[in-house]
Structure 1
Amino acid sequence: AFLSKALGILSESQLNAKGRRTLDNKLLTMALFSSLTPVIIAVICICLAVLWNHRSKARGEKRVGSRPWVDEDLQDKTELLGNENAGDFLEELEEQHIPYLPPRYSEDEMIRRVNEFYQLMNARRSVRFFSEEMVPREVIDSVIRTAGTAPSGAHTEPWTFVVLQDPETKHQIRAIIEEEEEINYKKRMGNKWVSDIKKLRTNWIKDYMDTAPYLILVFKQIYGILPAGKKTHYYNEISVSISCGILLAALQVIL
């Protein structure tokens, strides 16, 4: 009994000693952490400052190297012409330069002409129903030539017009466009956009693309190809949009 009691006292003493050691370790850890807290905070602040400085420099370099005259979709790092090649190219343009000698009109004639043009454009409508009646191909070619007179960044004329007349090819184009338009209506456009155009009774079905005798496809050229390399097409999307506007105006003349 005495031995058992002695062992019990010894075990209790060992447990108390172990508990004290654990408590001492915890207190030591807390003290160490408390002493290191300012150091850790300082290190974090330094890291944040370095990251912020690096980010600011990156933004500055982006602003310095940015080219706002180039559309955002120009991601191919277009190679600009060297000074020597650029000089030759500019000299060639000088040789092709045609002086601008516009006609002069009286005030009455200016008013008459501008009013006639307004009446013509005011009769334009956005329609989705087209006649099957053929028109001379020469008319379509002239309309496209008119669209090609549009202004463009650095006179790069970054557009390509493709005329389709083959029924099978037109139908294939229709299928491609309808597939994309269905995604637009169901996912990309959003409920508000779809709701706003609901009164126009439009959808992704484009049956008129099979009906119209011609389809005019308009492509924008992001860059041009010259013997010396790629040539930047400045404001290519805006330039093509202006050209399409003139195309619609020219079509209104024959409708």
Structure 2
Amino acid sequence: MNIISLVVWTLEKNCFTVYTALIVCFVGFTIFHKNKLEAHYRSAEKKEKLARTAAVRKERDFRDDSDEDPELLVPAIPEDTPHIVYQPPRRTDDEVLRRSREYYELMAQRRTVRTFSAEPIPQDVLDNLIKTAGTSPSGAHTEPWTFVVVQDPKTKEAIRNIVEEEEELNYSKRMSRQWVTDLKPFSTKPVKPYLTDAPALVLVFRQAYSWRPDGKKRMHYYSEISTAIAAGFLLAAIQVR
């Protein structure tokens, strides 16, 4: 009897056992893959739930102590604050064109310079520059900025020392070689003598939050963007002199 005949004879004599074994294997295979699929779906559902939770948390980036108790929610600006109706001036097309061209030509003269006159700046001028920067828009009108005018020589010297120390690290370690290379045409260096030469420095600080009269934290929204826009207003005001 050859091997094939032996196999056929064995299957014929033990067909019940063979079929039973096949059924058991099929059932086991089905259960195994069923569990694998359920585990896959559970994992996918968990990831989707985490993604939804992260999205909700992202929407609540500006969470503060008042979120848990609605009674503590107080607007940054009192609800009874009177609104001033905006009434833009009416101008002819020719006048609008002329004004826009003049302003462009004025701003196109702006330069980023590192040499300044030591001639004193009238205090009223400095005040007006800061007030102009303060007219900048901000998230929920929270005005998340602080402008500090420094004129004291010792304070300017201390600021220069701090800036030069940080700039030395920037040029030697933090900035990429390409960045440093791109700055070569401008002849910039870590040394910043203009910080003590200039008659006044305006330091711009961003406020991530402030404090309400009741001692609770008042959140500031889009504080980085708002402060950057205010700094732009300041630069434009300085150019319009």
Give the TM-score normalised by the residue count of structure 1.
0.72
The answer to whether the Cα contact below 8 Å between 1:148 and 1:243 also exists between their aligned partners in 2 is: yes
Label 1:89 to 1:124 Cα distance change in 2 as closer, same or farther (>3 A): closer
Which residue of structure 1 lines up, in the alignment, with residue 57 of structure 2? 65
Aligned residues: CA RMSD: 2.9
How many residue pairs get aligned? The number is 210
Instruction: Say whether residues 1:195 and 2:187 are aligned partners.
Output: no
Q: Report the CA distance between 1:84 and its aligned residue.
A: 4.4
Gaps of 5+ in 1: 1-42
Distance in 2, Cα, partners of 1:127 & 1:213: 14
Instruction: Say whether residues 1:206 and 2:192 are aligned partners.
Output: yes
Q: Report the CA distance between 1:58 and its aligned residue.
A: 3.4
Label 1:99 to 1:190 Cα distance change in 2 as closer, same or farther (>3 A): same
One of 221, 236, 239 as aligned partner of 1:249: 236
Q: Report the CA distance between 1:106 and its aligned residue.
A: 1.0
Identity across the alignment (%): 46
The answer to whether the Cα contact below 8 Å between 1:223 and 1:231 also exists between their aligned partners in 2 is: yes
Label 1:194 to 1:49 Cα distance change in 2 as closer, same or farther (>3 A): farther
Equivalent position amino acid for 1:151 in 2: P
The answer to whether the Cα contact below 8 Å between 2:139 and 2:226 also exists between their aligned partners in 1 is: yes
Q: Report the CA distance between 1:57 and its aligned residue.
A: 3.9
The answer to whether the Cα contact below 8 Å between 1:120 and 1:253 also exists between their aligned partners in 2 is: yes
Q: Report the CA distance between 1:54 and its aligned residue.
A: 5.3
Which residue of structure 1 lines up, in the alignment, with residue 22 of structure 2? none
Q: Report the CA distance between 1:117 and its aligned residue.
A: 0.6
Residue aligned with 1:63, SS: helix
One of 195, 208, 211 as aligned partner of 1:225: 211
Distance in 2, Cα, partners of 1:147 & 1:55: 45
Equivalent position amino acid for 2:221 in 1: Y
Q: Report the CA distance between 1:65 and its aligned residue.
A: 1.3
Distance in 2, Cα, partners of 1:247 & 1:140: 10
Q: Report the CA distance between 1:188 and its aligned residue.
A: 1.4
The answer to whether the Cα contact below 8 Å between 1:157 and 1:239 also exists between their aligned partners in 2 is: yes
Which residue of structure 2 lines up, in the alignment, with residue 19 of structure 1? none
One of 77, 80, 83 as aligned partner of 1:97: 83
Label 1:212 to 1:112 Cα distance change in 2 as closer, same or farther (>3 A): same
Label 1:120 to 1:89 Cα distance change in 2 as closer, same or farther (>3 A): closer
Which residue of structure 2 lines up, in the alignment, with residue 160 of structure 1? 146
Which residue of structure 1 lines up, in the alignment, with residue 160 of structure 2? 174
Equivalent position amino acid for 2:238 in 1: L
Distance in 1, Cα, partners of 2:166 & 2:41: 46
Q: Report the CA distance between 1:126 and its aligned residue.
A: 0.5
Give the TM-score normalised by the residue count of structure 2.
0.76
Greater helix share, structure number: 1
Label 1:180 to 1:55 Cα distance change in 2 as closer, same or farther (>3 A): farther
1:79-107 C-alpha deviation (Å, 9 max, x unpaired): 346544546766x2443321111111111
Q: Report the CA distance between 1:55 and its aligned residue.
A: 5.5
Q: Report the CA distance between 1:131 and its aligned residue.
A: 0.6
Determine which structure has greater relative contact order: mean sequence separation of CA pairs < 8 Å that are 6+ residues apart, divided by chain length.
Answer: 1
Q: Report the CA distance between 1:51 and its aligned residue.
A: 7.4
Q: Report the CA distance between 1:158 and its aligned residue.
A: 0.4
Equivalent position amino acid for 1:249 in 2: A
Residue aligned with 1:111, SS: helix
Gaps of 5+ in 2: 1-34
Equivalent position amino acid for 1:235 in 2: Y
Label 1:87 to 1:232 Cα distance change in 2 as closer, same or farther (>3 A): closer
The answer to whether the Cα contact below 8 Å between 1:158 and 1:239 also exists between their aligned partners in 2 is: yes
Distance in 2, Cα, partners of 1:120 & 1:192: 33
